[in-house]
Amino acid sequence: MSGHSTVRSKDGTTIAYDSAGDGPTLILVGGAFSYRRYKSWVQLADLLAPRFGVVSYDRRGRGDSGDAPEHVVEREIEDLDALVRMAGGSAHVFGMSSGGVLALRAVAAGVPIRRAVVYQPPFSVDASGHVPPPEFGRRLDELARSGRRGATASYFMREGMGAPRAFVALLRVARPIWRNLEAVAHTLPYDYAVMGETVHGKPLAHEPWASIATPTLVVDGGNAPPSLRTAADALAERLPDAERRTLDGQSHNVSMKMLAPVLEEFLLDRR
């Protein structure tokens, strides 16, 4: 399969996707700031296409996909379900960061996923991790609705992710990169909604994770903050059928050349 197309979600929203390769269907679910034509995302799809029918899509509100007046996490789950059904009724899934959390919420909701891989779910499950301020969700919504995309992106990075101000300032100077971030900044409240109660520094709840029977690989990077290692461990402990993997020397911006063989091994179960 190959090419660009669209699928209509349950609420009528058009979801744009690219497909390439042959083999078992693998749907890529991006996290905050990502979209299907993001450079590293395209690279990952190219690396996986020899073994999989790769589907890379724009989450609603991003790229060429449509949107609805109000965001509800259940609609994003329905978007993924529409893609799975388009692909024949079952698929593997890979989710990056908050995209991995969305993918697992979809599995818990009954979307037919055969195997799942998630990279570095950005939970905050104890006092060691960054916790957004109490007013974060409200303020993020206000900024996004105001149309101030640069301010929205900056606020999300500083207060939501805990990025240093100096780092954000450097990104703003890198105009091509910053323009790409601004292009999807209005959807950052969607990612915060997907995370739900998992970012408040409290132990990870048992549900919905404990009800997910799908074989799942939870991956993190060896250079990631210890709090994200703790988060990945907590998720793997909650999932009934989970494996853990750490990629040495990697951070949140993982090397797709290192990641692709890990996905291939687990999803094709060559053991």
The domain segmentation of the chain, as residue ranges, is 3-122+204-268, 136-194
What pLDDT score does 35 carry?
A: 92
- Give residue 233's pLDDT: 97
For domain 3-122+204-268, give the CATH number: 3.40.50.1820
Asked if the bond preceding 208 is cis, omega within 30° of 0, the reply is: yes
pLDDT in tens, the chain (271 residues): 456 899 999 999 999 999 999 999 999 999 999 999 988 999 999 999 999 999 999 999 999 999 998 899 999 999 999 999 999 999 999 999 999 999 999 999 999 999 999 999 999 999 888 899 999 999 999 999 999 999 999 999 999 999 888 988 888 887 788 899 999 999 999 999 999 999 999 999 999 999 999 999 999 999 999 999 999 999 999 999 999 999 999 998 899 999 999 999 999 985 5
Q: Are the beta carbons of 124 and 131 closer than 8 angstroms?
A: yes
CA-to-CA dists, residue 246 to 150, 204, 210, angstroms: 33, 20, 22
